[in-house]
Every structure is written in C-alpha cells, then in structure tokens.
C-alpha cells in the first residue's frame, strides 16, 4: 500500500464487519464495543500518524480491588500507519492487524465514570516500517503495550473516550529495534 487512500477502504471495511459482529451484544458496560482511534508519534515535524478500528470483548470475572472494580477485555483491531519515506519523497503506509489483552480499573467500586487501563499484546504489519529519522523495524511482528485513562458517559455508559499511550517494538527479537511511541485518542461505542 503506497498511499493512505488505499489503506482507508480496508480499515473502513474491517470496521463495518466489526460493527455487524458487535450489533448482537447486550447494552452493558461489560458488553462488546466497537471503536475508532487515531494517534501520532510527535517526532519533530516528521511524525507517523495512525488510524485503527477495533472490537473489544470482555472476558473473565470482574473483581473489587483497592476500592475499585477491575475488569478485563480483549482488543482486536486493524489499522494503518502513515510515515514519511526514508528518502523524504512522500509517504508510506503500513497496514496492521493485532490483539491486546487489557486490564481496566474503574474507581469507586465501579461507580465512577473514570477509568485507567493497561494492556499487552502483539501486531503484524504488512511490511517493515522505515522512516526518514532512520527508524527501521527489522521484523513485521511487534509487541505492543498500552496505558490509558478514559471516561465513560451516556445513559448506560455506552460511550467512551480515552487517551492512550502505546509503545510498539519487537521486544529485542532482532536488531534494529528502535520501537515507536504513540499518543492515541479513542472513541468507543458499546452495544
């Protein structure tokens, strides 16, 4: 994929499939949800931008811990990154698919609309990531970790917004392994 316009239809198609899959879930804070998120790396004017759509699915039994509610969910996504080519003569697009296991802590025994979360997972990219800053991944498979803070709202907490920090690297499987850090904003709707 050499331009972002070729990546957008694939991401939108995947989003439509995720939306149709999630439409049968119950309207509950622990129900499935669909989301869109976007982010950037903020690297001195030569940032890499990201766009993803995904499906969240709760698993396990929620627990009370330190005065809050701890729950778990799987995050399955497709997305793309857009980065300046190493020669500086345009942009490259990188399609990816991945999954992240997340733990969420909701304050006030689960009554608060505010939450914090952390997760770890993996993703596979369609090609090796390279940028003008000499950042170059040596593997298509990458590990990813996320930390986030968010707010649920709506009559049944069916809407969420979250600010998430995401690190992506191959975990030292092969060099070079510069990793990449994103700041992402997510909107999620639960069915």
Please report, for the chain, the start and end positions of each structural domain, with discontinuous segments joined by +.
4-190
DSSP state of 136: B
Residue with tokens 């396990």: 60
Please calculate the CA angle 21-75-109 and round it to the nearest 5 degrees: 105
pLDDT in tens for each of the 191 residues of the chain?
344 455 555 555 555 554 444 444 434 556 899 999 999 997 766 789 999 999 999 998 888 888 899 999 999 999 999 988 887 788 899 999 999 999 999 999 889 999 999 999 999 999 999 887 778 899 999 999 999 999 999 999 999 999 999 999 999 999 988 899 999 999 999 98
Q: What is the pLDDT of residue 7?
A: 53
Question: Contacts for 160-163 with beta carbons within 8 Å, 24 or more apart?
Answer: 160/33, 160/35, 160/186, 160/187, 160/188, 160/189, 160/190, 161/185, 161/186, 161/187, 161/188, 162/117, 162/186, 162/188
Q: What is the pLDDT of residue 42?
A: 77
User: Could you tell me which CATH class the domain 4-190 is placed in?
Assistant: mainly beta
Q: What is the pLDDT of residue 87?
A: 79
Are 152 and 29 in contact by the 8 Å Cβ rule? The answer is yes
Q: What is the pLDDT of residue 133?
A: 73
């Amino acid at each position: 994929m050499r331009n972002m316009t070729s990546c957008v239809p694939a991401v939108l198609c995947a989003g439509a499939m995720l939306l149709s899959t999630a439409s049968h879930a119950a309207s509950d804070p622990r129900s499935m949800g669909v989301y869109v998120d976007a982010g950037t790396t903020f690297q001195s004017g030569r940032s890499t931008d990201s766009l993803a759509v995904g499906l969240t699915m709760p698993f396990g039994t929620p627990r009370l811990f330190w005065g809050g509610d701890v729950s778990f969910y799987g995050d399955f996504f497709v997305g793309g990154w857009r980065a300046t080519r190493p020669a500086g003569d345009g942009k490259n697009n990188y399609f990816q698919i991945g999954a992240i296991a997340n733990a969420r802590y909701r304050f006030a025994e689960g009554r608060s609309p505010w939450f914090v979360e952390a997760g770890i997972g993996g993703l596979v990219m369609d090609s090796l990531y390279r940028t003008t800053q000499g950042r170059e991944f040596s593997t298509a498979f990458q590990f990813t970790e996320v930390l986030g803070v968010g707010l649920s709202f709506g009559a049944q907490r069916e809407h969420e917004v979250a600010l998430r920090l995401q690190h992506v690297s191959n975990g030292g499987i092969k060099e070079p392994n510069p990793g990449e850090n994103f700041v992402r904003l997510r909107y999620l709707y639960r069915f």
